[in-house]
Amino acid sequence: MSHPITVTHRHGESITVESEHTELMTYVYKPDPVEFESRKPYLHPLRTLAGNAVTGYRPNDHRWHKGLQMTASHVSGQNFWGGNTYVRGEGYLALPERVGSMRHEGFETFDVDPDELRFVENLRWLNNGGDPWAFERRGLRAHSVNPANGTWALDWSIRLTNTCAEPLRFGSPTTEGREMAGYTGLHWRGPREFTGGTVRGPGATGADAMMGAQGRWLAFTGEHDEVDGHSTVVFEHGPSNAESVHESHWFVRSDPTPAVAISWAFFEEFELPAGESFEYTYRILIADGALDHERIDRTLDEHPW
């Protein structure tokens, strides 16, 4: 049985989940003030049951990296990732007129059980001029708090509908010409102390081995400063993702920045026609300790969808 949780909702600002006085997560839906960083909700801090943080916020190398976020680096010429935009033949350019945003429009459902939080949030994707381009129905679920094995789980789903009259074109820096920079989609930035951490995937080890690869899951293990210990964050595809509009690949770096993105447009662009939608579902397992392949597989199997 999952361990009890406490949920605090600061209306208009954020939602915090705690377990035994440890803050496990805070979801911030009141946008940060800097427009160039792409104003949108984010999840930070994200912590293990032992209280160790596994997300970074506004690091000095990429101020627009904020914990765990749903992003999109290239959407029909707009940048919902934040920061500089990669332009074919010109490299990264500061183009504030291309930076879009995501606006919180309310909660469709909000349910708290003794051991689980579930909510569905409605968001509007706006271009830099404020025009609504897409409607997102986002679901988050915090659950399966298990002190016995030092893990808990967070599910994140997205259903995005094109509300424009024309197709929306999704891409990445790689589709714009930069090799192996296919980041877009759900993005995690780890704390700086995780730099040089260990990346694992099914049957593989190392960031180079997993960059641009596919697979059911990807895990990132880092060693903390100040405390003696490691933590592991595991990203898993929901079973229905195999049927989504476009197949996903892993974007992952361990050095110089600890980062993972579940990229839906790594190597190829895709179009979302007017009025149509796509859906993805992910699970993030947050664990104390350095989990190996066997334990990752076993723990994920203990949490059926």
Share of the chain above pLDDT 90, in %: 95
Peptide bond into 33 cis (omega under 30): no
- Fold for 5-302, please state it: Beta-galactosidase; Chain A, domain 5 (2.70.98)
pLDDT tier at 1, thresholds 50, 70, 90: low
What pLDDT, on the 0 to 100 scale, is given for residue 99?
Answer: 98
CA–chain centroid gap for 180, Å, is 19
201 in Cβ contact with 221 (< 8 Å):
no
Which residues, other chains included, contact 162 with Cβ-Cβ below 8 Å and sequence gap of 6+?
133, 134, 168, 272, 273, 274, 275, 276, 277
45 in Cβ contact with 113 (< 8 Å):
no
- The domain ranges of the chain are 5-302
Could you give the count of Cα atoms lying within 13 Å of 21 in the half-sphere of its Cβ? Answer: 0
What pLDDT, on the 0 to 100 scale, is given for residue 243?
Answer: 84
State pLDDT tens for residues 202-249.
999 999 999 999 999 999 999 999 999 999 999 999 999 988 878 999
Q: Is the pLDDT of residue 304 over 90?
A: no
Which residues, other chains included, contact 43 with Cβ-Cβ below 8 Å and sequence gap of 6+?
25, 26, 27, 28, 55, 67, 68, 69, 154
263 in Cβ contact with 184 (< 8 Å):
yes
